């Protein structure tokens, strides 16, 4: 091969690369620069003097572990050959402690109402084609995200010295005034003696309490997935396809019930 032919082939390769990749000047470029270290200086914090102080802090009223059994039926949009992975996350949408829900038998307790859901991202393999005369299957990896709701009510128990603090509102009361100057249209009648309808006085005290709240400390999930109405072929009974599965889920939650309270501490 002559030198001219070699040059023509090389130019042709460069032309094809430029056509497929676009302009050669548009290749990835990396630029870097030196970032100097910024000096910092220690600052002495301003602290309160030593002695007893009162702080308003979240106080742990109770920490409880709850097991919730849930059953869910999930229908997928394609025929599934195999579940590859299920990623799960627990979220709480509502957690309320009902005030004054203790009983005489259980004085240091309260009713806790919780709602939430398990967000599940399901990755699965589908069947799109197969090789005739063989058991070979080709398909796609798809995913589906669903939310499995749960709801429960339970009784939590507090330590005797860590109970929620609620100050009830006072009963409204009314003050009435006396009068003896009420007269009827009859000029000969005696004055009417009793309550003065022209003046009224009311009193009422309203307290604004700190609302207890819940923190989700830990969530453990164990489940069994049961394929509903699977379809298998006589040639390859190992592979089954299905579109619906039933999940038996056990959700184990560790929750903390807290309330902001005034706490006396000693500053060192």
Work out whether strand 201-203 and strand 173-175 pair parallel, antiparallel, or are unpaired.
Answer: antiparallel
Section 48-60 average pLDDT: 90
What is the H or E stretch that residue 13 is in?
helix 3-21
Percent of the chain residues topping a pLDDT of 90: 42
DSSP character at residue 8: H
Sign of CA dihedral 149, 154, 160, 166: positive
Residue 7 has pLDDT above 60, yes or no: no
How much is the pLDDT for 24?
A: 52
Residue closest to 146 by CA, chosen among 116, 120, 115: 120
- Whole-number pLDDT of residue 234: 66
**Residue in the structure block whose two tokens are 């023509």:** 8
- Confidence class of residue 95 from pLDDT cuts 50, 70 and 90? very high
Q: Cβ neighbours of residue 81 under 8 Å, at least 6 residues apart?
A: 124, 125, 126, 127, 137, 139, 239, 240, 241
pLDDT of residue 202: 86
Are 118 and 251 in contact, with CB atoms under 8 Å apart?
yes
Spell out the domain ranges in the chain. Answer: 171-200
Angstrom distance (rounded) from CA 184 to CA 181? 10
Write out pLDDT tens, residues 115-155. Answer: 999 999 999 998 888 777 777 778 889 999 999 999 999 99
Within 10 Å of residue 226's Cβ, how many Cβ atoms?
Answer: 13
Question: Is the pLDDT confidence value at 250 over 90?
Answer: yes
pTM of the model: 0.71
pLDDT at 235: 67
């Amino acid at each position: 091969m002559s030198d001219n032919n070699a040059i023509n082939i090389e130019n042709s390769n460069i032309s094809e690369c430029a056509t497929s990749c676009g302009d050669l000047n548009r290749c990835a470029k990396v630029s870097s620069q030196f970032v100097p270290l910024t000096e910092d200086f220690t600052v002495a914090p301003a602290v309160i003097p030593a002695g007893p102080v009162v702080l308003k802090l979240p106080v742990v009223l109770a920490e409880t572990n709850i097991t919730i059994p849930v059953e869910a039926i999930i229908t997928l949009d394609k025929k599934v050959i195999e579940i590859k992975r299920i990623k799960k996350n627990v979220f709480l949408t509502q957690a309320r402690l009902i005030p004054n829900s203790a009983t005489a038998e259980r004085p240091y307790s309260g009713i806790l109402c919780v709602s939430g859901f398990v967000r599940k991202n399901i990755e699965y393999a589908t069947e799109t084609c197969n090789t005739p005369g063989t058991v070979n299957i080709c398909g796609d990896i798809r995913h589906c995200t669903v939310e499995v709701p749960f709801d429960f009510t339970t009784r939590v128990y507090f330590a005797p010295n860590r109970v929620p603090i609620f100050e009830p509102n006072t009963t409204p009361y009314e003050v009435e005034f006396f009068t003896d100057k009420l007269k009827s249209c009859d000029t000969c009648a005696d004055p009417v003696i009793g309550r003065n309808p022209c003046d009224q006085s009311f009193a009422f005290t309203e307290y604004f309490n700190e609302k207890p709240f819940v923190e989700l400390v830990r969530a453990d999930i164990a489940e069994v997935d049961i394929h509903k109405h699977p379809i298998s072929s006589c040639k390859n009974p190992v592979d089954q396809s299905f579109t619906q599965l039933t999940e038996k889920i056990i959700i184990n939650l560790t929750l903390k019930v807290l309330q902001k309270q005034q706490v006396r501490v000693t500053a060192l």
